[in-house]
């Protein structure tokens, strides 16, 4: 710590004070010339399930006809579904950047950013360095030059690769599935025990792969997002897991009236009722960068479509 001995002195005892003032002026001018820096950055959260009712959580259910009754007109056009989205530093309970181009590196211990003075002023003691400390989480009004024996905690910390992966994830859109079923309630009821077909739009934003990257302080992290499976909730407690979007039902196709070749409720419903059907895609976001790699699981859930099931009537003579 530097102190000044006496008032108005001109001898060696006043040199530290003059050095301190010169350093402070130079660093403050450097900060003033730089663009304003935000003091608090909003945290980006990952792994949040897309809620039902959100604008992009739409239900897609064109007119598919009815399995078991292939003569019923229908057959929806599924479309391609293409569409245009480590350590944390905190101050007063809010997440802020661990590095700022103007202010330097943040020290969680005292709430100050530290910027190394470059070049170091003449007369800097050997083994020590001058920094400009901007405290109170980056408040430009609380700056002071400090002389330290070693870099403060957090200084020079590299970016967290997973945090960069989540930043890249925030730049792409993993959309909830647009679902369709056959039979469909407003076309005509299905029958107990007959197969049900399910499918979803196969576009890249619905099933991947989607790729993106994010960079910070010389580190670039790349991500690839793909759907591993889609899980259908049949509305009666049963679930059906499919590995792909499924095949649209064609009432005039060769499989009309038969079980779906890849994604269906083959045994059908056991009793007559109206059921709400929905689907959830399970994404895996794989990231790599900085010699590290990992995965970020994500889910997206559709809205519901209804299916009406009637009793199978047996006609006797």
CA–CA gap between residue 85 and residue 66 (Å, rounded): 35
Global pTM value: 0.60
Q: So what's the pLDDT on residue 5?
A: 34
End-to-end, the C-alpha distance of the chain in Å comes to 107
Residues of the chain with CATH 2.60.40.10: 161-310
Q: What is the pLDDT of residue 36?
A: 39
Structure confidence at residue 216 (pLDDT): 80
Sign of CA dihedral 258, 263, 265, 266: positive
Q: What is the pLDDT of residue 4?
A: 34
pLDDT of residue 184: 81
Q: pLDDT at position 251, please?
A: 87
Mean pLDDT, contiguous 10-residue spans, the chain (317 residues): 36 43 47 39 35 42 54 35 49 88 90 93 94 94 93 84 94 96 84 95 95 88 98 97 95 89 95 96 96 96 94 66
Q: Which CATH superfamily is domain 161-310 in?
A: Immunoglobulins (2.60.40.10)
Q: What is the pLDDT of residue 65?
A: 57
pLDDT of residue 255: 87
pLDDT at 81: 31
């Amino acid at each position: 710590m530097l102190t000044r001995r006496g008032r108005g002195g001109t001898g060696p005892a006043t040199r530290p004070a003059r050095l301190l003032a010169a350093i402070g002026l130079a660093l403050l001018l450097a900060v003033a010339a730089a663009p304003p820096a935000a003091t608090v950055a909003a945290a980006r959260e990952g792994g949040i399930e897309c809620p039902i009712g959100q604008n992009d959580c739409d239900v897609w259910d064109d007119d598919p006809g009815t399995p078991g009754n292939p003569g019923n007109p229908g057959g929806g056009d599924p479309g391609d579904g293409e569409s245009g989205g480590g350590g944390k530093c905190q101050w007063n309970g809010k997440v802020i950047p661990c590095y700022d181009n103007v202010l330097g590196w943040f020290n969680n211990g005292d709430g100050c950013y530290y910027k190394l003075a470059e070049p170091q002023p003449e007369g800097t003691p050997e083994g020590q360095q001058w920094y400009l400390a901007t405290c109170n989480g980056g408040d430009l009004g609380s700056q002071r030059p400090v002389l330290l024996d070693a870099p403060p905690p957090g200084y020079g910390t590299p970016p967290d690769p997973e945090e960069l992966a989540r930043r890249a994830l925030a730049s792409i859109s993993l959309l909830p599935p647009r679902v369709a079923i056959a039979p469909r309630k407003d076309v005509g009821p299905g029958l107990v025990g007959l197969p049900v077909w399910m499918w979803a739009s196969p576009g890249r934003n619905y099933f991947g792969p989607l790729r993106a990257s994010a960079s910070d302080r010389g580190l670039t992290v790349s991500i690839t997002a793909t759907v591993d499976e889609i899980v259908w909730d049949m509305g009666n407690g049963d679930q059906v897991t499919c590995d792909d979007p499924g095949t649209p039902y064609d009432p005039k196709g060769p499989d009309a009236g038969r079980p779906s070749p890849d994604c269906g409720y083959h045994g059908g419903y056991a009793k007559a009722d109206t059921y709400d059907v929905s689907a959830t895609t399970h994404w895996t976001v794989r990231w790599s960068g900085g010699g590290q790699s990992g995965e970020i699981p994500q889910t997206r859930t559709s809205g519901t479509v209804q299916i009406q099931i009637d009793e199978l009537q047996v006609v006797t003579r």
